[in-house]
Each structure stands twice: as C-alpha cells, then as structure tokens.
Structure 1
C-alpha cells in the first residue's frame, strides 16, 4: 500500500470550531451521521477506539487508536475495518486526520485518509468520507 495515495474530503460548516469538535467527539452526535454506529473511546492519545454498527446488512466492529488530540483543531486516529477483507495487520490500517480551521465566519473541516492501495481506492474513500462530512455538517450546524 502507498502512504502517498491520500483520500481527502472537506466541508465548510456554518458553526464555530467548538461545535464541529463536539460533532467529531460526542458519541451521540457521531451516531447521527455515521449510520447509527456506536463509538467507544476516552479520546486520550494512545487509547483504543472502537466503532460498532451495521453496514449493508452486515454487523461490523472497526477499531483503531487515538493518536493525537488538539481540541477544536486536530484529531488523528488509526482505523481498521475487518469488512475490508484484509488481514488485521499494521500495513492495512489507515490514519485518519481531521483538521479544523476557521475560514471567515465558517469552519473548514478536512479529513485525510492515508494508505490507499490504488487511485481508485483513494477516490472511493474520498467519496465516502465526503458524504459522511456532509452529514456531520448538518449535525454541527444544528447543535451550535
């Protein structure tokens, strides 16, 4: 896999950075935009994070590690999904980097996912993340 093939998605949100941060880290809000997934973590660097839910009729339990937490600015997690069909080894994990940046009266949220094997995989991931960020935008704007 290539760490140079980065999937990226971004959205402008009409809410302050604190509302965007809350949408990223509040399990009840995450459930709203992440297709009903439950998230378990304490958001401390080095701690485990688990996402549980159902995707296309199949239950899943994704997992990773919280890498970096800069409240209202940046959140970095690793992520692995058994639904990928790949072995659960480090080279099949992705790093997800959420960056929060004020842009005028809006807040820009950008998500980057590394370690995509092909351009097509990176494009597919970007499309999925873009759809998720659009839903997160609605939640953050409502919650501000």
Structure 2
C-alpha cells in the first residue's frame, strides 16, 4: 500500500511557458533533464508511457500511463517500476503531475508526486526532483 507522503515543489523559470512545455515533452530534452532516461509516449490522454535507460550499467524499463494532459498547462501520469517487487496493480503506481503557469515574464513549473511505497522512497525522490527542476530551469533559460 502506498504511503501518504506527497512531494510538491515549484520553481520560477525565466522563459516563456511554451519553451518550458517543449522541454518537458521533447524526447531529447527530457532525457537531459531526467537522468539520461528515455520517455516514450505520444503525450495523449490514455496513452502508455515507457521510461527506459541504464542505471548502474543495467538496462531498465519502467512504465506508466498518461492519465490526463492539457497542452501547455499540465501532464498527469503514473509510474510503475517492475523491479520494485510489487504487483503491477494501480495501488503500486506513483502518480506525478507537471503543472505550468505563466506569471508575468516567467513560468512557474510545479511537480507533484504521491503514492510512495515508504518514507525512504519519498526521500530519494525529493533529491532527484530538485535536480530535475533546476536542470529544466537552466535549459529553458538558455533557449530564450
């Protein structure tokens, strides 16, 4: 059963919303932002999403689904790691949401994630998301 821990963090990016959206949905950009991981999907509601790459010289392939999406506003998706040892059932997926909001000359990028297996999983993800947010900010601001 998933824990009650929820991660939420926002970052202000000095770039137009459309540029931040492109970074979050472009395969080459997302790979740079998210630890050299490939994200394969068509970015449509109900579509599968495959997360793959190498971790510690081991190939992995995780999966999820696009639960909802509104172009240039938000992406809601879930994530399952088959190596977790847990059954592939909805209760064992974490849920993530990327939100974008235009605010004057900047874009507010907010990440939510919930459904962690335990506190340790929550703590691990916190460190990773901090890196992702800062890398997305850096990339978007260079594209201006």
| Cα separation, 1, equivalents of 2:75 and 2:66 | 8
Following TM superposition, by how much is the alpha carbon of 1:79 offset from its aligned partner in structure 2, in angstroms? 0.8
TM-score by length of 2: 0.89
Alignment match, 1:23: 23
Q: Check conservation: 1:9, 1:126, Cα contact below 8 A.
A: no
Q: Check conservation: 2:97, 2:113, Cα contact below 8 A.
A: yes
Per-residue CA deviation, residues 41-68 of structure 1 (Å, 9 max, x unaligned), is 1111000110110123221111100111
TM-score by length of 1: 0.89
Higher mean C-alpha deviation, range 52-61 or range 23-32:
52-61
Alignment of 1:72-91 (within 5 A): 72-91=72-91
Following TM superposition, by how much is the alpha carbon of 1:33 offset from its aligned partner in structure 2, in angstroms? 1.4
Structure 1 runs not aligned, ≥5 long: none
The alignment status of 1:122 with 2:122, answered yes or no, reads: yes
| Cα separation, 2, equivalents of 1:103 and 1:22 | 17
Structure 2 runs not aligned, ≥5 long: none
| Cα separation, 2, equivalents of 1:134 and 1:9 | 11
Higher mean C-alpha deviation, range 16-25 or range 96-105:
96-105
Moved segments of 4+, more than 4 Å = none
Higher mean C-alpha deviation, range 83-92 or range 122-131:
83-92
Per-residue CA deviation, residues 73-96 of structure 1 (Å, 9 max, x unaligned), is 111111112343433222110111
Alignment match, 2:51: 51
| Cα separation, 2, equivalents of 1:103 and 1:120 | 34
Alignment match, 2:137: 137
Q: Check conservation: 1:7, 1:123, Cα contact below 8 A.
A: no
The alignment status of 1:106 with 2:106, answered yes or no, reads: yes
